Amino acid sequence: MSDKAISDHSPQGPKGKLLTGHLKEFQSDPLEFLTRLTTEYGDVAKIRFGPFQNVYLISDPDLIKQVLVTKQKHFVKSRDFHALKPIIGEGLLTSEKELHMRQRRLIQPAFRKTHIVNYGQDMIDITTNYISTWKDGEERMITQDMMSMALGIISKTMFSMDFEEGYDVLGEPIETAMRTAVKRMRTLLQPPLWVPTRSNREYKNAIHELDKVLFEIIDKRREDAEKQEDMLGILMDARDDEDGLGMTDTQVRDELMTIFLAGHETTANALSWTLYLLSQHPEVESKLFHEIENVIGNRLPAPEDFKNLTYTQNIIWESLRLYPPGFVTGREVDEDVDIGGYHFKKGDMILVSQYVMHHKQEYFDNPESFYPERFENNFAKTIPAYAYFPFGGGPRVCIGNHFAMMEAVLVLVCISQRYRLRIAPDHHEVTPYPSITLRPKRGLRMIVEERNETGFQPEATEI
């Protein structure tokens, strides 16, 4: 839709309930609801959350670009992110305007290519160690395995914590805090945190526990004379070019928590979906095995292999297309703005949905099929920008996008060099469950099959 096509009417949408609007429909099946909205009401559809909150779903690549990039100054992050503030404070995901820009400048160096190659070795070490105990024929809860592995990887790359240590001290409080935060994000009216409900008490205890661990780590590091090349070391050394100042301990804590949260569940879900898709598409799986054999053979993978694993990268791109972990992105209008011929007022909420866009027939032939080959020959550059955007875009584009791609490819390769995974015979139908990120509903149980044909002999690894 052209921006010039000034319309004399406001965007259309279904009639909602008087008090709740469309909140219930959105919450009960957001993927189906958002897809239906686009199909029935076009590129800009109007709904309501609660009695007064106007919400617009925008589903045209050029208009999405205006929201995320060219007119982004008119927006702030949507209000539901405020529910995460007790956990992540004023970290990158929640901070706004100058503070966000400053923090982004300070943190960006930790995600430079050279560092990501170093993290790549940690990714390989953690994965090979984790999967070394998998037994031929056993059934595993793969969604849980991917979560534990991703948590181990982020703990190691961020603060050089051993896998078990990271999981022991952070795993449980994070899970409790996130469970409550999601509940708070999804409820219109919630008791403020000072009301001593059971859930508020649990939430506050979990946050207290996390704070204790993180401030201890930061304190210890401040006392430590020896420099460490992990993310924490880079964040603590960072100085702003403009004012020469670094981050306070609270800022370091908020950013650690943010990266920690944003950086494990997303990638874990991407990996779970990929393993599921491979189990359903043996023809793609054998091409993957073939590429691993050609590029790596029988040795252990190395971070430098990443660039040569092009088919594997396309498998991940295609999996992120079908099941984008960040399936919807929200913004709130901070200053009135015109987009696509419509006027949006301060306080309006705008949604753009990766899931909706990635499944559009106009940009993707047979959108429901799993076909990594479509990403060959720079396919993503041949479709409009923001028809495909698993990592968002503009100044708030995912800071961990290269990290995530490196991790997804290396973990997948380490697993596939040794094993193939099959869905357990009595498995329920696998369907997506949109929580904060898109995950397989009720988890993924898979049977491990050792790939004897590879003759792969893992070297002993020490982590």
92 is a site residue for ligand HEM (CB under 6 A) = yes
- Strands (E) in 304-358, as ranges, are 329-333, 337-339, 342-344, 349-352
What count of other Cβ atoms lies within 10 Å of the Cβ of residue 308?
Answer: 13
372 is a site residue for ligand HEM (CB under 6 A) = no
Contact region for ligand HEM (CB under 6 A) — 5-13, 273-281, 334-342, 398-406? Answer: 398-406
Q: Taking the complex as a whole, how short is the minimal distance between the CB of residue 399 and ligand HEM, in angstroms?
A: 5
Q: Which residues pair with 47 in a beta bridge?
A: 55
Cα distance between residue 278 and residue 41, in whole Å: 35
What count of other Cβ atoms lies within 10 Å of the Cβ of residue 317?
Answer: 18
Q: Are 330 and 349 in contact (CB under 8 A)?
A: yes
Helices (H), 42-171: 61-65, 85-88, 97-107, 113-131, 142-159, 163-166
Q: Which residues pair with 339 in a beta bridge?
A: 342
263 is a site residue for ligand HEM (CB under 6 A) = yes
User: Does an H or E element contain 140, and which?
Assistant: strand 139-141
CA distances from 163 to 148, 155, 210 (A): 9, 7, 17
Nearer Cβ to ligand HEM (153/447): 153
Angle at 144 between CA 132 and CA 284, to 5 degrees: 70
391 is a site residue for ligand HEM (CB under 6 A) = yes
Q: Taking the complex as a whole, how short is the minimal distance between the CB of residue 450 and ligand HEM, in angstroms?
A: 28
Query: x/- string (CB under 6 A) for ligand HEM, residues 148-167?
Result: --------------------
Contact region for ligand HEM (CB under 6 A) — 208-216, 243-251, 394-402, 417-425? Answer: 394-402
Enter the tokens of residue 457.
């002999």
Cα distance between residue 360 and residue 352, in whole Å: 14
| 41-80: contacts with ligand HEM (CB under 6 A) | 77
Q: Taking the complex as a whole, how short is the minimal distance between the CB of residue 267 and ligand HEM, in angstroms?
A: 4
180 is a site residue for ligand HEM (CB under 6 A) = no
266 is a site residue for ligand HEM (CB under 6 A) = yes
Contact region for ligand HEM (CB under 6 A) — 1-9, 160-168, 258-266, 366-374? Answer: 258-266
Q: Is 398 annotated as a binding residue?
A: yes
325 is a site residue for ligand HEM (CB under 6 A) = yes
Q: Taking the complex as a whole, how short is the minimal distance between the CB of residue 438 and ligand HEM, in angstroms?
A: 9
258 is a site residue for ligand HEM (CB under 6 A) = yes
326 is a site residue for ligand HEM (CB under 6 A) = yes
Residues forming contacts to ligand HEM in the complex (CB under 6 A) are 77, 92-93, 104, 258-259, 262-263, 266-267, 270, 325-326, 329, 390-392, 396, 398-400, 403-404
